[in-house]
């Protein structure tokens, strides 16, 4: 039983390291910050990669907690899905989507 728990923990560590590497490799040099979103009156789109639950959140409370220069892409590592409790969350600016649903991941 102990070996199974260690194997799961090892996979989580490797996935986290892999995800951080991909983010560092693929994100722009100057990612959007919480202050950028606040000045543009934009929200943050949080997307769960496990269950596809999504939510738009206001950056103002996060600015008070994390500071105005905190990068938006790094928020995902601190978020938890309210639907499935997963920590596999992606964050990005929530661009205006008044025309309806943007995309459905399959």
Backbone angles phi, psi at 24, to 5 degrees: -65, -35
Question: Which neighbouring-strand residues pair with 90?
Answer: 47
Cα separation, 78 vs 62, in Å, equals: 11
Reported pTM: 0.64
Res. 6 pLDDT band, cuts 50 70 90:
very low
Q: Exposed, middle or buried by CB within 10 Å (0-12, 13-18, 19+), for 28? A: exposed
Using the predicted structure, report yes or no on whether residue 80 has a pLDDT greater than 50.
yes
Residue 102 or 58, more confident:
58
**Taking residues 64-71, what's their average pLDDT?**
95
Q: And the tokens for 32?
A: 């959007």
Please name each of the domains of the chain with its CATH number: 42-96 (2.20.28)
- Between the ranges 19-23, 27-31, 54-58, where is the mean pLDDT highest? 54-58
């Amino acid at each position: 039983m102990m070996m199974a728990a260690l194997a799961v923990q090892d996979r989580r560590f490797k996935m986290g390291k892999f995800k951080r590497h991909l983010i560092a490799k693929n994100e722009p040099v100057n990612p959007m910050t919480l202050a950028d979103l606040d000045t543009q009156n934009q929200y943050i789109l949080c997307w769960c990669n496990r269950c596809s639950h999504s939510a738009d959140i206001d950056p103002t409370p996060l600015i008070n907690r994390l500071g105005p220069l905190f990068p938006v892409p790094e928020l995902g590592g601190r978020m938890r899905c309210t639907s499935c409790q997963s920590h596999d969350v992606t964050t990005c600016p929530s661009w205006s989507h008044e025309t309806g649903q943007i995309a459905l991941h399959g």
